[in-house]
Amino acid sequence: MKLICLPHAGGSAAIFNGWKASLVSEITLENVELAGRGKRYRENFYTNVFEAVEDIYSIIHKELDASPYAIFGHSMGSLLAFELGHKIQQEKRRIPEAFFFSGKAAPNFLTQESVHLYEKERFIKKIFSLGGTPAELMNYKVLLDSYLPIIRADYKIVETYKFQNNRLLLNTPFYIFYGDKDPITLDKIKAWENYTSKSCEWFKFDGNHFFIKQQERLVINLINKILIKKQKIGM
C-alpha cells in the first residue's frame, strides 16, 4: 500500500520524512514535493488550486493503477487531495483506498479571510499564531524572507479557491482528522460526509491546528491501523 502525502501551506515534502520510521513495512511513503520549495525551489508558484492538482497528478499518474494507495493531506493538503480525487476519478483511474483529510473544513466552506494580502508584519503574526511555523525562524531573517513568499503563495491559492458543486461524489471512504483546539468548528468538520458515496469517519486529537506534529505518533499509528485493515480485506 502506498501513502501519498500532501503538505500544509508553506510545507515541503520534507515535513513527512519523519513518518517513514513509524509507518509499518507494508506501507510505502510518497511525499509529493510541490512547486516553489524544496528540490523544486526554482519553479514558479501555482496560481490556483487546480493548477497545483494538475501538477500533482502529472507526478503520480503513472503509478496509480499499479497497486493500492491512499492519500493524506493536512490543511491546504486536504484541499489539494480532495480536488486530486476528483481528477483521478474523472480520468477513470484506480481510485484510492482511503482519503485522510486532516485539519481542514469541508471544501464548501470557503475562506473568508484574505491573509495572502496582509502586509508583512501582520502576515508574519498570523502565520506564527497558528503554531506550524518554527518560532526560531523569526531569528533568521534570510530564512524567513525566503519562506514568506512560499506560504503567502499557498494562502493565495486556498483563499481564492472556487468550490465546484454538483459533481459526482468521491467513491472512496473518508477519514477526517481534527484537533480539539483547532478553531475550525465541528459542523465544518462533519460536513466532509457530504462529499463521499462511501463511509466517513472522524477522529479527534488533542492539539491545535497542527496536532499532526503534536500527536505525530498517534496519527501515524491510526493510519497504520486503517490501511493494514484495508490491505487484509483486499487480499
Domains of the chain: 2-108+163-234 (3.40.50.1820)
Residue 230 has pLDDT above 90, yes or no: no
Rounded CA gap, 79 and 109, in Å? 11
What is the C-alpha separation between 34 and 77, in angstroms, rounded?
10
Residue pLDDT, tens place only, 150-191: 999 999 999 999 999 989 999 999 999 999 999 999 999 999
Give residue 211's Cα distance to chain centre.
13
CA 44 to each of CA 40, 81, 126, 154: distance values in angstroms, whole numbers, following the listed order: 9, 20, 24, 12
Q: State yes or no: pLDDT of 234 exceeds 70.
A: no
Percent of the chain with pLDDT over 70: 98
pLDDT at 232 over 80: no
Q: Where is pLDDT greater, at 169 or 111?
A: 169
Measured from the Cβ of residue 234, the count of other Cβ atoms closer than 10 Å reads 9
Q: Would you say residue 135 has pLDDT above 80?
A: no
